[in-house]
Amino acid sequence: MIFEEVTIGKCRLILGDCVDVLQSLEAQSVDAVITDPPFFHPVNHYVNARDAEPAKKTLSDMSALKHFFRVTAVELDRVLKRSGAAYWFCDGQSYGHSFEALYPHCKRVRPLIWDKVVSFNGYTWRHQHELIAWGEMPEAKQIPTGDGDIIRCRAVPVKERVHPAEKPVDLLAALVKKTPSDAVVLDCFMGSASTGVAAVMHGRGFVGIELERRYFDIACQRIEDAQSKVGFGGTAEQGDLLTANTEAKPTREAGSA
How far apart, in whole angstroms, are the C-alpha atoms of residue 222 and residue 231?
14
Q: What is the chain's mean pLDDT, rounded?
A: 87
Q: What is the pLDDT of residue 187?
A: 98
How far apart, in whole angstroms, are the C-alpha atoms of residue 169 and residue 240?
13
Q: What is the pLDDT of residue 154?
A: 95
Query: Does residue 134 contact residue 109 with C-beta atoms inside 8 Å?
Result: yes
Domains annotated for the chain, with CATH where assigned, are: 4-42+59-256 (3.40.50.150)
Residue-level pLDDT, tens digit, the chain, 257 residues: 789 999 999 999 999 999 999 999 999 999 999 999 987 665 555 556 667 776 677 777 778 788 899 999 999 999 999 999 999 999 998 999 999 999 999 999 999 999 999 998 778 899 899 999 999 999 999 888 879 999 999 999 999 999 999 999 999 999 999 999 999 999 999 999 999 999 999 999 999 999 999 999 999 999 999 999 887 545 444 433 333 333 344 556 666 55
pTM of this structure = 0.86
Q: What residue type is 57 in one-letter code?
A: K
